[in-house]
Amino acid sequence: MQPGLGYDDSDGGAPPKLSIGQRMLLVLPRMGRGEKKDRQPAGDWMRKTFMKPEDPDAKPAKKASDTPESVEELEAAVKTADDKERAIGLVAAPLAAAIGFLVIHTLVANDPAQHLKSGALNPQYVNPSLYDDLFLVLLALSFVMLTMAMLRKRLFLGIATALYGLAVFNLHYWGFGVPFVLAGAWYLVRAYRLQRDLKLANGEGPSARYGPKAQSGSTSYAAKPNKRYTPRSSSPNRAVRPKRAS
């Protein structure tokens, strides 16, 4: 009789059916041996599951920035703003109008009295009509921002956004003015970079002076001759003629 099975095969009879517990006892040692072969460290399993490392045999995909853009794409990018820039402008314009109303309302509410208790004119008093004019300027800048965002004009959108931020910044509301100044500077920097890339693509940039066009005979700054006069140096190998005796 084999231990743990509960039957005797000496008589040649058919073995009885095994119970579920006995089957599990027979299967567990095999599972343990199979798991030991395929077992991997917990760190490797977590790295493969969550970090998803790249396949070393796969070819690396080219990034969008690695491929140079064509001249037509650069011209289109210079003329019109993309969806991201347009969306930022469409969100910033109504927000600017609301901030302008809030700032001017706060300034008018906190405006001190025109005269002091002694009857003298208060130097800190500001005429409310000045605040009204400033509110109209802020609304006009907000309207320009909205219009330029709808028309996808990056340069003018950046100028209007920066001017609005400077106006609010000068009113000592730095928390509202600084984000608009940074957004306007971001627009202007993007416009400058696209213009620079377009000039380089057309061969009008500084790098074109020393490129193949300059070597083929085109006029460039580096090929211009120097107009400064340089005196001819005397040759050291020239023999000195003796003076004739008088």
Is residue 84 a part of any domain in this protein? yes
Is residue 103 a part of any domain in this protein? yes
Query: What tens digit of pLDDT does each residue of 53-92 get?
Result: 555 555 554 444 444 468 888 888 889 999 999 999 999 9
Domains contained in the chain, number: 1
Is residue 186 a part of any domain in this protein? yes
Is residue 137 a part of any domain in this protein? yes
Is residue 144 a part of any domain in this protein? yes
Question: Considering the entire predicted model, what is its pTM?
Answer: 0.56
Is residue 131 a part of any domain in this protein? yes
Q: Which domain holds residue 154?
A: 73-201
Share of the chain above pLDDT 70, in %: 57
Kindly write down the DSSP assignment for every residue of the chain, as one continuous string: --TTT----TT-PPPPPPPHHHHHHHHHHHHHHHHHHH---HHHHHIIIII-PPPTTSPPPPPTTTSPPPHHHHHHHHHS--HHHHHHHHHHHHHHHHHHHHHHHHHHHTPPPSB-TTSPBPTT---HHHHHHHHHHHHHHHHHHHHHHHHT-HHHHHHHHHHHHHHHHHTT-HHHHHHHHHHHHHHHHHHHHHHHHHHHHTT-SGGGGGSHHHHTT---TTTSPP-S--PPPPPTTPPPPPPPP-
Query: What tens digit of pLDDT does each residue of 75-134 get?
Result: 888 899 999 999 999 999 999 999 999 999 999 888 888 788 887 888 888 888 888 999
If pLDDT is split at 50, 70 and 90, which confidence band does 163 have? very high
Is residue 14 a part of any domain in this protein? no
Is residue 235 a part of any domain in this protein? no
